[in-house]
Amino acid sequence: MNRGAFLCALGAYLLWGFMPLYFALIKDISPGQILAHRVAWSGLLLAGISGLTGRWPEVIRWLSKPRLVLAAFASTTLIAANWLLYILATTRGEILQASLGYYITPLFSVVLGLVVFGEHLRIAQWVALGFAAAGVAVQAALLGKMPWLGIGLMFSFGLYGLARKKMGIDSIAGLTLETILICPVALGFLLTWHIQGTGTFLHENPRQDLWLVLAAPVTAAPLLLFGVGAKGLPLSLMGFLQYSSPTVQMLVATLILGEELSVERIASFSLIWMGLLVFVIEAWHNNTKALPKSPVVENPEKSPA
d(CA 269, CA 95): 13
d(CA 133, CA 268): 10
d(CA 266, CA 97): 12
d(CA 57, CA 64): 11
pLDDT at 139: 80
pLDDT at 298: 45
Helices 215-232 and 3-25: crossing angle in degrees, nearest 10, is: 160
pLDDT at 235: 62
8 A C-beta contact, residue 96 and residue 146: no
d(CA 266, CA 142): 11
At residue 20, what is the residue type?
P
Instruction: Supply the pTM of this predicted model.
Output: 0.83
C-alpha distances out from residue 88 to 50, 60, 101, Å: 29, 33, 13
pLDDT at 297: 44
C-alpha count within 13 angstroms, C-beta hemisphere, residue 34: 24
Q: How many CB atoms are closer than 10 A to CB 244?
A: 16
d(CA 221, CA 42): 10
pLDDT at 304: 41
d(CA 213, CA 222): 16
Among 12, 4, 14, 10, residue whose Cα is nearest residue 237:
10
Alpha helices in the chain (DSSP H): 3-25, 31-52, 56-63, 66-91, 95-116, 123-143, 148-167, 171-196, 206-213, 215-232, 235-241, 244-251, 263-290
Instruction: Indicate if the alpha-carbon torsion angle 42, 82, 91, 97 is positive or negative.
Output: negative
C-alpha distances out from residue 29 to 33, 84, 91, 93, 256, Å: 7, 13, 9, 14, 20
pLDDT at 296: 47
Q: Where are the domains of the chain?
A: 3-290
Chain mean position to CA 15: 12
d(CA 256, CA 21): 9
d(CA 108, CA 87): 21
d(CA 263, CA 261): 7
For residue range 27-49, list pLDDT tens digits in order: 889 999 999 999 999 999 999 98
8 A C-beta contact, residue 70 and residue 92: no
The per-residue pLDDT string of the chain (305 residues; one tens digit each, 9 = 90 and over) reads: 678 888 988 998 999 999 999 999 998 899 999 999 999 999 999 999 889 988 899 889 888 888 888 888 888 999 899 999 999 999 998 999 999 888 888 888 878 878 887 777 788 888 888 888 888 888 888 777 788 999 999 999 889 888 877 777 777 888 888 888 999 999 999 999 988 888 888 777 788 889 999 999 998 888 888 878 877 777 666 767 788 899 999 999 999 999 988 888 888 889 888 888 887 787 777 766 655 454 444 444 443 44
